[in-house]
Structure 1
């Protein structure tokens, strides 16, 4: 299949510390790819570097065959690639209504059919028009994350970067959001790149995954290989043992 995202030998440094150390990842079009590792392993840094929120000093980033450097991203990039952040409380402007939050990217990208797109986006995430003129402080955590997903979808991107999209939510809400994301991916034929510390989430949502430690990828494998215990590093075994649902391995 065609690669939609290709990362080769990416390096991200902060004050001389290598947060990413020559990381390489390939993601096929339509795939759901997971990145797992303990806190500080570099997984969120990798996603933020792809999105242009962190600058990478060397290496290659290719999206649909187009090369990007450092933090330089153009409108075409954000038409294709959108990100959903971990914290729904911090990712939405508290003084903007849901309508304005959804309308802003449409205005930036020059869409003329804003009304129809806003209505569709709200329906798609299970909220509807009744939420359109509420402020984020009037929404629950799960509702805020649904709005964040709607905002990411409204430009009809091809790739969603998902940075721990349910870890800040109650357990009962996490499953709802994961099921919503799974349905959206199926309906739209999206490519997912999902970061999580929770292997149970990754094995539910993804087909392949990369395991990160100390800014490096220690192995890449399929979910089937993980379930069968067909992996090569003790670190992966430790993650499985620590992760809920894998304690018997």
Structure 2
């Protein structure tokens, strides 16, 4: 079976420093694949490299068996879209929600823009009443829902999610995670999800890669986290550090536990 996304010996360097060092992984259609590790491990850089936002110095990235072009063309962006971590920085402050969602359609020459915009807003739980609002008139969770709608509007096959809830209040995180899971199932999407939170990764993902200092430490099934059968000492230390972790818990339960933990 051909992977919908294939990464082979991917290397990313900045001024001679290897931020990503020869990593490999495949993601198959309909899967949710996680990238997990401590801050600075290179998780987000992998997503940026896939999108063409980080300099690839070696290795290949393939979509449906075909190597992606440099620079990325319109055909790539019809298949792959990204939701960034910060909903405050990823939306143009002077563009209305309608313009934010309509612009990708205009760039790609997609007709029936109004119907698509209304459908995208409905899918993320906002509705027509938000169409002509501006980002400063929205809460953080609403902004991230607009960002998700923008990513969905071209009907891609793959969504790259870079810590999509880490900038949100704890009370909103579970709502956005549940929304993403519903969207993945409804559209049969493939996810690549970056997080430092094992509980989120375990709930959302089928398989994952554990990263450290730009390298792949271990590729495991998410079920291995619950059973404690990870092979590396680094992976075990991440499990110990991730309090409240248990596969099968709902995001609302994970977030609730965090809110009731004593603050240091």
Fold conserved (TM > 0.5)? yes
Q: Which residue of 2 aligns with 1:207?
A: 206
* Secondary structure of residue in 1 paired with 2:111: coil
Q: Which residue of 2 aligns with 1:34?
A: 34
**Deviation per residue, 1:60-107 (Å, 9 max, x gap):** 1101111025x5200000000000000000000000000000000000
Q: TM-score scaled by structure 2?
A: 0.92
1:246 Cα offset (Å): 3.4
* Unaligned 5+ runs, structure 2: 247-264
* Secondary structure of residue in 2 paired with 1:122: helix
How many angstroms apart in 1 are the aligned matches of 2:116 and 2:146?
13
Instruction: Describe how 1:135-214 pairs up with structure 2 within 5 A.
Output: 135-214=134-213
* Secondary structure of residue in 1 paired with 2:168: coil
1:130 equivalent in alignment to 2:129: yes
* Secondary structure of residue in 1 paired with 2:56: coil
How many angstroms apart in 2 are the aligned matches of 1:139 and 1:2?
41
Instruction: Describe how 1:1-249 pairs up with structure 2 within 5 A.
Output: 1-68=1-68, 71-246=70-245
* Unaligned 5+ runs, structure 1: none
Q: TM-score scaled by structure 1?
A: 0.97
1:215 Cα offset (Å): 0.3
- Structure 1 runs (4+) greater than 2 angstroms displaced: none
How many angstroms apart in 1 are the aligned matches of 2:171 and 2:191?
23
How many angstroms apart in 1 are the aligned matches of 2:157 and 2:68?
17
* Secondary structure of residue in 1 paired with 2:72: coil
How many angstroms apart in 2 are the aligned matches of 1:243 and 1:51?
29
How many angstroms apart in 2 are the aligned matches of 1:80 and 1:66?
12
Q: Over the residues paired in the alignment, what is the CA RMSD in angstroms?
A: 1.0
1:25 Cα offset (Å): 1.1
How many angstroms apart in 2 are the aligned matches of 1:65 and 1:115?
34
How many angstroms apart in 2 are the aligned matches of 1:171 and 1:222?
27
1:187 Cα offset (Å): 0.3
How many angstroms apart in 1 are the aligned matches of 2:202 and 2:228?
13
* Secondary structure of residue in 2 paired with 1:212: strand
